Amino acid sequence: GDSVTQMEGPVTLSEEAFLTINCTYTATGYPSLFWYVQYPGEGLQLLLKATKADDKGSNKGFEATYRKETTSFHLEKGSVQVSDSAVYFCALSGAQKLVFGQGTRLTINP
Amino acid sequence: EAGVTQSPTHLIKTRGQQATLRCSPISGHTSVYWYQQALGLGLQFLLWYDEGEERNRGNFPPRFSGRQFPNYSSELNVNALELEDSALYLCASSFIGQTRATNTQYFGPGTRLTVL
């Protein structure tokens, strides 16, 4: 079945550092790919998405490119802020349901 | 525009009781999805309702059930509660339309269910 694998956390960085969170997937067909973010005590917020190969999703300085050849959708940000501290989930959409990775907890220190 | 809303925020029950969780989708959305976020188990798909019908369910026992009302709001019922049902239950909504294309799911804040 469909699956998503994220880099293990937790990840701790200093403010203004470069961020990469790796995400790879296994799926039949051509799923849409998503990154969601969960702040403490809250639900999930959509961060960005890509619906086909080579699409780049971007939002709030975060970017991810849908790479069909490597079945990846890595999340990047050039300069993180303390306010980016949260749990990040990579997900794919298959058969009208989302399949999530295990989540990566990110902590940014000032 | 109002987002997905869920009630109650917190729910405390004892083992064997029943829990009812509610979700109101974004206006114009016809699909509602339920997910369970249990500690250490990540996010698991529970149920999908569209146009009042159950369209798909995840790998959960039949004591997890629900329904979707004519106004597209939804209820999740969990019968015979067990300790391991303690989790954050998230509802999401989307609009699929005639093409049945995959559309983005938008999540509510969740209901924290604690089973004692």
pLDDT tens per residue across span A64-109: 999 999 999 999 999 999 999 999 999 999 777 899 999 999 999 9
Report, as an integer, the average pLDDT of A48-62: 94
Per-residue pLDDT for B9 more than 90? Answer: yes
Distances in whole angstroms, Cα of residue A34 to Cα of each of A26, A72, B65, B116: 14, 11, 27, 35
Mutate to test the interface with A, among B21, B88, B105 (most CBs of A within 10 A): B105
B52-71 per-residue burial string, b: 16 or more CB within 10 A, e: under 16:
eeebebeebeeebbbebeee
Would you state the pLDDT for residue B114?
A: 97
Nearest neighbour of A97 by CB, restricted to B45, B100, B109: B45
Q: What letter represents residue B28's amino acid?
A: G
Strands A56-59 and A23-26: unpaired
Q: Report the residue of chain A nearest B88, measured CA to CA.
A: A43
Res B99: pLDDT? 57
Neighbouring residues of B83: CB distance < 8 A, sequence distance ≥ 6: B15, B115, B116
Q: What is the mean pLDDT of chain A?
A: 94
Distances (CA, A) of B95 to B1, B22, B98: 15, 19, 10
Mean pLDDT of chain B: 92
Least Cα separation, residue A42 to chain B (angstroms): 5
pLDDT reported for residue B41 = 74
Which pLDDT belongs to residue B102?
60
Confidence tier at B39 by pLDDT (50, 70, 90):
confident
Q: What is the pLDDT of residue A29?
A: 81
pLDDT for residue A23 is more than 90: yes
Q: What is the mean pLDDT of residues A30-45?
A: 92
B105 at A interface, C-beta within 8 A: yes
What pLDDT score was predicted for residue B98? 55
Per DSSP, the residues of chain A read --EEEE--S-EEEETT--EEE-EEEE-SS--EEEEEEE-TT--EEEEEEE-STT-EEEETTEEEE-BTTTTB--EEESS--GGG-EEEEEEEEETTEEEE---EEEEEE-
pLDDT greater than 80 at residue A20: yes
Q: What is the DSSP letter of B52?
A: T
Q: Which helix or strand (DSSP H or E) is residue B104 part of?
A: none
Q: B104 Cβ partners below 8 Å, 6+ apart?
A: A32, A34, A46, A49, B94
